[in-house]
Chains A and B, each alone.
Chain A
Amino acid sequence: MSSSNEATVSGPPHAHHWDPVTAYHGSKLGMWLFLATEILLFGVLFTAFAIFRYLYMEEFHHASQYLDWKMGAINTAVLIFSSFTAVLGVDAAQHGDNKKTFRWLCVTVACGFIFLIVKYLEYSHKAHIGLFPFIECNDHAQFCWDSVEFKNEFKMYFGLYYCMTMLHALHVIIGMGILTWALLKAKKNRYSTDYYTPVEMGALYWHLVDLIWIYLFPLLYLVD
């Protein structure tokens, strides 16, 4: 979004072209507004989760024990660390150090990969014990999603779990995309003390992704 200041077509050179300061502040306001919409997007899921947890306290408690809090804790640590490296990337960009920017953003994106791998391991374990929709029932699995015995409350818990974590994982992927675009610009030495908007916007987005996980982790894995 921040690169809209480059949008020019024919006509005088100033058409559709903002001065860098306006472009920077505009992008920042735009990104904050976008983050607000993201919080509302997840807000629906948090609200639904709160209501059904209140209604089906015991079943939700029981269901949550099938999540592996150690995996969740690893991912929490990975994301918090990645937010830290993202900040270092922004700091480097603000000082016009393209090399360091590139390096820190690479670390951040790598953390995103680790997060997704751990998430994949968790999902495949769920699929293995039958706690996953779209899986054919078999005798080895502990549960069967589509069977009559499978409790509706369990479906609701895991339905919300998948909805929240998959939406979050999608955001991780989008965040990785934005940061990759930002770090490619660092590779081309685009940043200076006057221009570092993409890094800052990418990092803002990444922090939100991190923040949402920090709420998801205790809510889904830890709360008794």
Chain B
Amino acid sequence: MSAHADGDDKNYLNCETTLWSWISTVDHKRIGLMYLFTITAFFIVGGLAALTFRIELFSSGAQFLTPDQYNVLFTLHGAIMIFLFIVPGIPATMGNFLLPLMIGAKDVAFPRLNLLSYYIYVVGAAMALIAIFNPFDYILSGFSAEQAFNPADTGWTFYAPYSVKSGSAVVWMTGAAFVLGFSSILTGLNFIVTVHKLRCPGMTWNRLPVFVWALYATSVIQTLATPVVGMTLVLLIMERVMGVGIFDPSMGGDPVLYEHFFWFYSHPVVYIMVLPAFGVVGEIIPVFSRKPIFGYKMVVYASVAIAAVGFLVWAHHMFTSGISDWTAIYFSVATFGVAIPTAVKVFNWVSTMYKGSISFETPMLYAMAFIFLFMVAGTTGVYLATLAVDVYYHDTYFVVAHFHYTIQGGAVIGLIAALHFWFPKISGKMYNEPVAKLAWFLVFVGFNLTFLPQFVLGMEGMPRRYFDYLPEFQPMHRLSTIGSFINGFGYTFALLNLLYAAVFGRVKAPRNPYNSLSLEWKTASPPSHHNFDEDPEVDDYPYAYGTPVEGGGHH
């Protein structure tokens, strides 16, 4: 973060340099960066948890973990990656940084609320850390060695009734998820008001960048879905504390009700994760294809449609939970409905590239990897939406692979693409392109090597969340473990490359290294504290590549 001015104008990074100026900042760009560093730390923790249990799964039979430790590790991996990393992933980092720049505003609508969201996130993260190290069972049990390491082990879904009976760490972990949800609500609310009220002159709804539209749709889901899971987790905590049996069948409660409440949020939440990534790809592809985005309005409507339909499909996670046939049929059909706007988007991206003048810089490579991986994710999603097939695939590695193709292949790749694409704007430096491309290659190969075998494992009947497996599954598990390490090295290289360029990089970034038409590239790299030197104004949408512009010449 020590970007030195070298006689340049002051920018948002060096206008003030004390620690206090960072932790008390209301500047959306600095808050975005603070989120970025925090979530990256949790990405590393969650990733290491995954690699650890992948080593355990390298061979059949017990290796070096106990079954309980294995349960703890996959719970930590899921809960950390979902609640601490990927939900705030793109919106709170890139969204915070870019939203005001892209609509020509000086900041978000409620800058202090924005900082408050960050600190609420930090509190939630601290509670999650307490759940991980969970000193309380140990202390309450009178320091019995059995309770020395007793974190949450329920899986990230906290399904009742087990979550009611498991160790006390569940209370901390669900409490953390509640607090993190509150942070997410406030960010979403802030973004919605920002988009409504702070667009610069000429920035009509039909000229908004697709990333802003995606953030807007995401924010609506964040605001409307998150309270439901928050309250559900409170009910779970109440059930434990008061001994009420709302979700406990032995006390007349209904565990399926928990699942309904949980998925009412946790299905839309996958769109919170992946919609911003759609937006990122929608920004990158026109720039590196030098072509107007194909079907701008359809891209935008598709984002909103996915957000809307995403609220109506939650029980497709519960086809084997004992819901009625008619309910299951409705949720199956509605889930097929999600495929339509999603496919519209894929066709739009591919059509944008068609006959374009494509150059394969790193962001474009990630964007293309995204399209490929997300197509696999979407197609296998249709398998899982099909009732008869899902009964067989439910709770197998097929679901695990499908989910990771959506969320890692979609949301995480989208975040890494965004980090590379906007890196010059954020840091004012250029990164090393060959290293970035090598990292991309490792990520792409490693990812597919990890999760393609898991589709096969799932089809062969390997259940998810199992500590041990039959020897027949071993070859595919080994491929998967090897792939996960290549994947991990890829991310390490990519992030170190960016970090090195930000701190030690010598190549200064120009204002607009890619000749993009979007507003954030019209200001300095990195932007000044107050974003724009002159009040911006726009007269077209930002994708008019290949058309003559003012001042002569073509883009």
Footprint of B on A, CB under 8 Å? 1, 3-4, 7, 9-12, 14-18, 22, 25-26, 29-30, 33-34, 36-38, 40-45, 47-48, 51-52, 55-56, 133-134, 145-146, 152-153, 155-156, 158-160, 162-163, 167
Per the CB 8 Å criterion, the residue count for chain B at the interface is 48
* Structural contact, B238 and A15, CB atoms closer than 8 A: no
* Structural contact, B27 and A155, CB atoms closer than 8 A: no
Query: Residue B257 at the A interface, CB < 8 A?
Result: yes
* Structural contact, A48 and B530, CB atoms closer than 8 A: no
A155–B241 Cα distance when bound, in Å, is 12
Chain A: CB-nearest residue to B226: A37
* 7 A-B pairs with least C-beta separation: A159-B244, A44-B231, A15-B530, A41-B227, A40-B227, A133-B242, A4-B110
Knowing A37-B224, A37-B226, A152-B251, the reply to whether A7 touches B111 (Cβ < 8 A) is yes
* Structural contact, B109 and A26, CB atoms closer than 8 A: yes
Knowing A29-B197, A33-B189, A52-B246, the reply to whether A38 touches B106 (Cβ < 8 A) is no
* Minimum Cβ distance to chain A for residue B250 (Å): 9
Query: Residue B198 at the A interface, CB < 8 A?
Result: yes
* Minimum Cβ distance to chain B for residue A165 (Å): 13
A12–B109 Cα distance when bound, in Å, is 18
A126–B106 Cα distance when bound, in Å, is 54
B241-275 CB contacts (< 8 Å) to partner A: 241-246, 251-254, 257, 261
Q: What are 23 of the A-B contact pairs (CB < 8 Å)? A: A1-B113, A4-B112, A7-B26, A7-B111, A9-B26, A26-B109, A26-B110, A26-B193, A26-B198, A30-B109, A33-B193, A37-B223, A37-B224, A41-B228, A43-B227, A133-B241, A133-B244, A152-B245, A152-B251, A156-B244, A160-B244, A162-B242, A163-B235
A14–B226 Cα distance when bound, in Å, is 34
* Structural contact, B197 and A9, CB atoms closer than 8 A: no
The residues of A that contact B109 with a CB separation of less than 8 Å are 4, 18, 26, 30
Chain B: CB-nearest residue to A153: B252
* Structural contact, A11 and B529, CB atoms closer than 8 A: yes
The residues of B that contact A33 with a CB separation of less than 8 Å are 189, 192-193, 223
B188-225 CB contacts (< 8 Å) to partner A: 189-190, 192-193, 196-198, 223-225
Query: Residue B232 at the A interface, CB < 8 A?
Result: yes
* Minimum Cβ distance to chain B for residue A169 (Å): 14
Cβ 8 A contact of A7, one of B112, B223, B234: B112
Knowing A4-B112, A155-B244, A159-B242, the reply to whether A15 touches B529 (Cβ < 8 A) is yes
A56–B253 Cα distance when bound, in Å, is 11
* Structural contact, A30 and B228, CB atoms closer than 8 A: no
* Minimum Cβ distance to chain B for residue A188 (Å): 20
The residues of A that contact B26 with a CB separation of less than 8 Å are 7, 9, 16
The residues of A that contact B111 with a CB separation of less than 8 Å are 4, 7, 16
Chain A: CB-nearest residue to B197: A26
Residue in A12, A37, A48, A159 whose Cβ sees the most chain B Cβ within 10 Å: A37
The residues of B that contact A29 with a CB separation of less than 8 Å are 192-193, 196-197
